[in-house]
A = this chain, B = another copy of it.
């Protein structure tokens, strides 16, 4: 069971931005920092903008930064917004499931409940929390705080 690379890199981009709150980032710089293609990162950054996690400053010397404080960004929300789907099993895909057990099967409901538990656990963390490992913080100025 894995998150998509898209979600994985979305979290990494947000953490990078949180770690350097006074700088404007660029796709080129982040692509180099994370060793990923500019093409992939452009899609990630675009979607982060669409979902309101980052804001862009245009013009010379422009770039993007977090649209709100890292303490106010819940990790569960980022995963909800960026993960392309929580189709935990085939039966979650409308019209595409060939499962012979469907009418009398409650597996889908159980898996949906489990996915909610997964996200609820992540909701307890803010972006700031992810950068606050004792003694190892990328940005000591970003204080740990259970989110929202």
Q: Are B1 and A86 in contact (CB under 8 A)?
A: yes
Q: Mark A15-57, 1 if CB is under 8 A from B, else 0.
A: 1100100000000000001110000000000000000000000
Contact-residue size bin, chain A (C-beta under 8 Å from the other chain): 35 or more
Q: Are A105 and B120 in contact (CB under 8 A)?
A: no
Q: Are A1 and B88 in contact (CB under 8 A)?
A: yes
Q: Are B106 and A132 in contact (CB under 8 A)?
A: yes
| Residue on B nearest A137 in the bound complex, by CB | B104
- Once the chains are docked, how many angstroms separate the CA of A87 from the CA of B122? 16
Check A3 for interface membership: any CB of B closer than 8 A. Answer: yes
- With A106-B133, A107-B11, A110-B129 as known contacts, state yes or no: A2 contacts B88, CB within 8 Å: yes
A116 neighbours in B (Cβ, 8 Å): 121
Q: Mark A124-143, 1 if CB is under 8 A from B, else 0.
A: 01000111110011100000
| Residue on B nearest A110 in the bound complex, by CB | B125
Q: Are A12 and B99 in contact (CB under 8 A)?
A: yes
Check A111 for interface membership: any CB of B closer than 8 A. Answer: yes
- With A118-B117, A130-B110 as known contacts, state yes or no: A104 contacts B3, CB within 8 Å: no
Check A115 for interface membership: any CB of B closer than 8 A. Answer: yes
Task: Tell me which of B12, B101, B115, B130 contacts A1 (CB under 8 A).
Answer: B115
Give 8 nearest A-B pairs by CB, closest first.
Answer: A114-B121, A117-B121, A104-B136, A117-B117, A104-B138, A118-B118, A114-B118, A8-B89
